[in-house]
Amino acid sequence: MSSNPQAPVSHFIRNIIEADLASGKHRGIVTRFPPEPNGYLHIGHAKSICLNFGLALEYGGKCNLRFDDTNPEKESEEYARSIQEDVRWLGFQWDGTVRWASDYFDALYGFAVKLIERGLAYVDDLTPEQMREYRGTLTEPGKNSPNRDRPVAENLDLFARMKGGEFPDGSMVLRAKIDMASPNINLRDPALYRIRRAHHIRTGDSWCIYPMYDYTHCISDALENITHSLCTLEFEDHRPLYDWVLDHLDMPCHPQQIEFSRLELHYTITSKRKLLQLVTENRVSGWDDPRMPTISGMRRRGYTPEGIREFARRIGISKSANVVDMAVLEACVREDLEARAPRVMAIVNPLKVSITNADGAQSREAGFHPNHPEFGSRVVPFSQQLLIEADDFAEVPPPGWQRLTLGGEIRLRYSYVMRCDEVVKDASGKVIELKCSIDHATLGKNPEGRKVKGVIHFLSCEHALPAEIRLYDRLFNAPEPDGDRDVDFSTHLNPHSLDVVSGWVEAAVRDAAPETRYQFERLGYFCTDRRDHRPGEKLVFNRTVTLKDSWAKEQP
């Protein structure tokens, strides 16, 4: 791993591109990012976005955004809008206008007619059951459909009538005529078109036949003069079909399909179907729930585009399995926030402290970041009534305890050394208040004649603002929640993936806009919620990530 966070990491796709440019095969590169608008983008898509757009930027090329809108029942404008927003938020911009596979529907139909005229495609009316029977298995060849040798004129007539809406849904398909005995099942006369009466988000009801992905994708790439068509490894066995279609249509441009391993991230899932299930079953609040691995969810949680791009850079590109622990992503985000997030104090589990000798106590100015004086400073107020974290006090301290205990001293962050003199409990024996005293000579100075090791944060009750603090954690408590087909992945949902508490924050964050990031000292990184936070009225903070990897110690 390079020590330079911006340094490109060498990989086999970059090597191919550099060889193509050096040999003169291409004068420039054109890539594309081709999502289907049937859900929100997730962290796996972020890897692909960074690869396709990043390579285009690096080599002075272009990258298209093209929606694969060939499956109308599952697609929506909402998804298309969110995808465009996610790409921009990650820091990329596509070349020209947004492209759609539906832009090419007329051309795709024309190319299908050309294949029929060349005797390379035919209309088949086998039932789905018969189709499966004729297809064969991984170890046994398929057999030709009885309709495979229909005359060209009859195929042209039937295909036109399919387009005209004469036949019921699913009753016929247009198939490529390749090789039913091929060891590659994708070449066993694959379907090119199917009948499906579904309202399309762009073409409405003007089409009742829709092209299949494998047929559409390669032609769309060629029409857009894509040089390197990058996709994940599950499409490796589809590459011969990609090339067959283009070879038999005499396309002036023949892109090179190159496959790389998809991202598998521990403690999460990236199946759109399963993510949709979480949404529809109300296991999460929506596609942009901060626990979701969607780009919009990570954005709402407070992840930075820079952190996600660095994650994509670190994990690299290869053909081998790309299984990555969630800790790698969290570390990239944490490192980015360390440098850019102002530091303030907040209390999530308050314990009241009364200062018995507060007369004459002073507030003190403190910077927002120790390494960035340009971030400015604010006054950290001090008063007679304070709030500290309940976890920072122990009546019976464990070994090595360096926080507050009865009779012990600690340093209040940016303020005085404080000693606990008395513990107040309620009827049940719960500690509800501490009575403490401060050493007035220690404001900005070390005490004389003794060492005080512990430092804790605090808030002045008089000045603190109430806030809803959402403590997000990993959505699943198992590294591979969908690893066992016999176990419902939802059984691995982490019951503590979200704990909402009523906390307190410094007045300095009162007017913070939505999506403002902070480090809450000693607690973690937090971000004002982009949906529910209202500056000066309702303060809502989402925990982005803890200061340290809290899961590492739990691993075997």
Contacts of 189 (CB under 8 A, 6+ apart): 124, 142, 144, 145, 148, 175, 176, 177, 178, 179, 180
Helix (H, G, I), strand (E, B) or coil at 91: coil
Cβ atoms of 469 and 501 within 8 Å: the answer is yes
Cβ atoms of 452 and 411 within 8 Å: the answer is yes
Q: Token pair for residue 280? A: 């529809």
Residue type, 260: F
Q: Token pair for residue 379? A: 């006054």
Cβ atoms of 115 and 248 within 8 Å: the answer is yes
Q: Token pair for residue 520? A: 């809450």
Cβ atoms of 344 and 413 within 8 Å: the answer is no
Contacts of 488 (CB under 8 A, 6+ apart): none
How many other C-beta atoms are found inside a 10 Å radius of the C-beta of residue 199? 9
Q: Please tell me what DSSP assigns to residue 28.
A: S
Residue type, 533: H
Order of strands, sheet of 173-176, starting from the edge strand that comes earlier in the sequence? 121-124, 173-176, 191-195, 209-211
CA-nearest of 489, 488, 550 to 525 is 550
Q: Based on DSSP, count helices (H) and strands (E) in the chain, helices before strands.
A: 12, 27
Give a three-class secondary structure readout of 372-423: CHHHCEEEECCCCEEEEEHHHECCCCCCCCCCECECCEEEECCCCEEEEEEE
Helix (H, G, I), strand (E, B) or coil at 86: helix
Kindly write down the DSSP assignment for every residue of 502-518, as one continuous string: EEEE-GGGTTPPTT-EE
Phi, psi of 33 (to 5 degrees): -115, 115
**288 burial via Cβ count (<10 Å: 0-12, 13-18, 19+):** buried
Alpha helices in 67-104 (DSSP H): 77-89
Alpha carbon distance 322, 318 (integer Å)? 8
Q: Token pair for residue 62? A: 């272009």
Token look-up 């969810």 returns: 297
**Element housing 276 (H / E):** helix 272-280
Q: Could you give the residue numbers annotated as active site?
A: 36, 262, 272
Alpha carbon distance 210, 266 (integer Å)? 36
Contacts of 514 (CB under 8 A, 6+ apart): 528, 529, 530, 531, 533, 535
